[in-house]
Structure 1
Amino acid sequence: MIPNLPPPAGVGPGHPAPEFDPLEFLRLSPQDTLARAQAFYSEMNARRTTRQFSRDPVPQAVIEWAVRTAGTAPSGAHRQPWRFVAVQDGGLKARLREAVEAEEYKTYTQRMPAEWRAALAPLGTDHIKEHLTDAPWVIVVFREKYGVGADGTRIKNYYTVESASIAVGLLIAAVHHAGLVTLTHTPNPMGFLAELLGRPSNEEALVVMPVGYPAPDATVPRLTRKPLNEIFQVDRGSAGRPRIEP
């Protein structure tokens, strides 16, 4: 509580009071909590991104359940500003790949500075995106920049990039947990995706994710993840914090 300030009048005066339900929560023992945290880490640590997909089919129900999981993400003011467009039609995937590769070719030949090229070199990427036609599904995630009421009026959404990005993280976890692989791809610019997939002007593509089984001969870059001591801190104030110049 900030001292010497009057309490706020409240959020949304004149609106109906919020309604609440009891939280459904099963409290585990500390030992079980730790065991579950360790088990989930082990499962997710085995997750890898591959660009080589099998063409074996994946039931639509699996994709729907993964998207349901993504839809449980928290969001600003609970606006849920995400839309998931799943593409399985071969012709549509081919057109999507053609459009993506056209933009990616410009990126690799005109837009990409030397520093970016150096950062991507260990990953072995290029503008060819065969995974977009090999994978049985391609999920394009859109963020809803603003809502549209029944009368056509705009409804403000909040923290749309952050909210949709959290949903993407849950989608990645759900896909891996289901025994599949995915790849997060962000062609830039991405305006063509809304037109290609018939999305309204209040939506903006955020990420493209092919989803399926890995190819039998799939490979992944030889990489390591940062250890805990490089990504985690407990209770340290600003004193002695190293300054990183931009």
Structure 2
Amino acid sequence: KSIFSKSFYDFPARDFQDDRDDDPDILVPAIPEDTPHIPYKPPRRSDDEILARSREYYELMAERRTVRSFSPEPIPQEVLDNLIKTAGTSPSGAHTEPWTFVVVQDQEMKAAIREIVEEEEELNYNKRMSRQWVTDLKPFATKPLKPYLSDAPALVLVFRQTHSWRDDGKKRMHYYSEISTAIAAGILLAAIHYCGLVALTSTPLNCNARLRDLLSRPLNERLELLLPVGRPHEETTIPDLHRKTLEEIMVKI
């Protein structure tokens, strides 16, 4: 019996095919076929060093928490640039890099985003979301009102590109775009915490089309995450949560 979950390979072949796959003019690699392969020799560290670094990084990331109350103190532009560049180092299917990060600092635009999200969240909480879902959110004291969307100095909206276009105007397929964009978002969250900032991972339900139009994004982009980013407000509180133990999340074979 295979030890691999069916989810790794049980995708319909048509999901990754184009109706014109047999056209030789279409069969062009996403990156040049003659892309050179160059030596890769990162620093080789001793077992003691990698152990120490693994502990240090775990202890740092164990302090990361989601917050919903932000200081309006601005973030230097170069910091935001570096955060997005770091997210852009993420791996992606066939190196298609299927992501766009929209960074919003303009106060009027943040207010417009908040208005759209709050309108949709009012419907979500009262009509669209199940009662169990709403009940599960009670410990976090979440509500349709989202003041952090206008309070935080920056909003990072993570869009996933379902496909793109080649220089010759032909469609360029993006493979595993959901997974690739999710990995990039995880690297972004780690970078935000590493530099001393905080974020809220929000997934604005039923807001994709309206926010995409507001931000003038193309139809091949879909909003996956909306991240308020900044410093925590001096009176910020967080729920006293406890993460699963290593034994609960790790299987050794």
TM-score, length of structure 1 as denominator length: 0.88
For residue 19 of structure 1, report the CA deviation from its aligned partner. Answer: 1.8
Change (3 A) 1:13 1:195: closer
Q: Once the two structures are superposed, what CA deviation does each residue of 1:192-246 show, in whole Å capped at 9, x if it has no partner?
A: 11101010111111100000000000011121101111100110xxxxxxxxxxx
For residue 28 of structure 1, report the CA deviation from its aligned partner. Answer: 0.7
1:110-125 superposed matches below 5 A? 110-125=127-142
Change (3 A) 1:64 1:222: same
- Structure 2: tracts of 5 or more residues without a match: 1-26
Q: Once the two structures are aligned, what percentage of the paired residues are identical?
A: 42
Alignment-derived partner of residue 85 in structure 2: 68
1:176-191 superposed matches below 5 A? 176-189=193-206, 190-191=208-209
- Mapped partners of 1:16, 1:214: distance in 2: 47
Alignment-derived partner of residue 33 in structure 2: 16
User: 1:169 is matched by which residue type in structure 2?
Assistant: G
Tell whether 2:245 aligns with 1:232. no
User: 1:84 is matched by which residue type in structure 2?
Assistant: F
Alignment-derived partner of residue 9 in structure 1: none
Change (3 A) 1:224 1:131: same
Alignment-derived partner of residue 176 in structure 2: 159
Q: Once the two structures are superposed, what CA deviation does each residue of 1:145-179 show, in whole Å capped at 9, x if it has no partner?
A: 10112343211000001000000000000001111
- Structure 1: tracts of 5 or more residues without a match: 1-11, 236-246
Report the 3-state secondary structure (helix = DSSP H, G, I; strand = E; otherwise coil) of the residue aligned with 2:137.
Answer: helix
User: 1:148 is matched by which residue type in structure 2?
Assistant: W
For residue 17 of structure 1, report the CA deviation from its aligned partner. Answer: 4.2
User: How well do the aligned residues superpose, as a CA RMSD in angstroms?
Assistant: 1.5
1:102-141 superposed matches below 5 A? 102-141=119-158
Report the 3-state secondary structure (helix = DSSP H, G, I; strand = E; otherwise coil) of the residue aligned with 2:172.
Answer: strand
- Mapped partners of 1:98, 1:13: distance in 2: 44
Give the length in aligned residue pairs: 224
- Mapped partners of 1:53, 1:123: distance in 2: 16
Tell whether 2:247 aligns with 1:217. no
